[in-house]
Each structure stands twice: as C-alpha cells, then as structure tokens.
Amino acid sequence: MQQITTVISTVPIGDDDGPQRVRQLVARDEDLAAHGRAGYVLHNTQTITGTERVTFVDTLTRNQ
C-alpha cells in the first residue's frame, strides 16, 4: 500500500525578510530530509506565489 503526505511551507519574499526566509527554507529542507529518512520520496512540488509570500506544497509518497 502507498502512503501519501504533504509538507506545506510558507516563505516570505520581501527584501526585508531575508533572515526569516532563510529560516523557513532551512526548516522546509529539514522537514523534507526527516520524511526522506522515514522512507518517503518527493513526488511533486507545487508553488503558489502571492504578493508577500510563496507557498511550497510538497507531495511525498512511501510504499509499505
């Protein structure tokens, strides 16, 4: 059976938000790495761009 999960990360895009953007991107990377260690594989990434933020929707799958 296949399991599907999503990781949703919201990252600011303003010029003044550099440090927060870096923290959010590092947190996303760590979250994806943790799922990878649990056997999940990144299947798809969609981005939703707003005026102040970008939202990443990562879909991961794992076969049991």
| The pLDDT value given to residue 4 | 97
State the pairing for strand pair 53-63/41-49: antiparallel
Q: What is the DSSP letter of 51?
A: S
Confidence band, pLDDT 50/70/90 cuts, at residue 14? confident
Q: How far apart are CA 23 and CA 10, in angstroms?
A: 11
Using DSSP's 3-state secondary structure scheme, residue 39 falls into: coil
Mean pLDDT in residue range 44-58: 97
| The pLDDT value given to residue 36 | 97
Q: Across the strands, what pairs with 45?
A: 58
Prediction pTM value = 0.89
